[in-house]
Structure 1
């Protein structure tokens, strides 16, 4: 009877440690504890959501139309890039 309980407990621990949700929760708790103890904020790069690069001049639709017209011209001329 005890072996079944130990096996079940080991299986549960293995599932918990493999869970990304568990690791996110531990990371949040650690971050909050550090902020409370040290009084300084920890910055996590994953919170920023990637790089924030400004768009160059011109909208996406203008770029698409320009590219589309160039492709049509190349098709009529018979010169395709591959």
Structure 2
């Protein structure tokens, strides 16, 4: 019976350590602890913009189309946003 619990524990630990969500949470907690202890912000490249490769492509295309349509409407009305 003891070995079943150990096998289950090992499997759960493997799943947890393989999870990107777990690593993201650990990174945020580490960053916050560092900021509190040191009084300075850590540099996080993902907050600076960049390529954002991991984002789904559909959302950016939808935003572009929405923005493009708004610009066309404004041009036909004769007004421009600044």
Q: TM-score range by the shorter chain?
A: 0.5 to 0.7
SS in 2 for 1:21: helix
Structure label with greater radius of gyration: 1
Give the TM-score of the pair, scaled to structure 1.
Answer: 0.59
Partner of residue 42, structure 2: 42
How many residue pairs match? The answer is: 52
CA–CA distance in structure 2, aligned partners of residues 20 and 49 of structure 1: 20
Over the residues paired in the alignment, what is the CA RMSD in angstroms? 1.5
CA–CA distance in structure 2, aligned partners of residues 47 and 16 of structure 1: 25
Q: Which runs of 5+ in 1 are unaligned?
A: 52-60, 62-82
How far is 1:28 from its partner? 0.3
Q: List structure 1 runs of 4+ shifted beyond 4 angstroms.
A: none
Q: Which runs of 5+ in 2 are unaligned?
A: 52-67, 69-82
Give the TM-score of the pair, scaled to structure 2.
Answer: 0.59
How far is 1:49 from its partner? 2.6
CA–CA distance in structure 1, aligned partners of residues 19 and 11 of structure 2: 12
SS in 2 for 1:7: helix
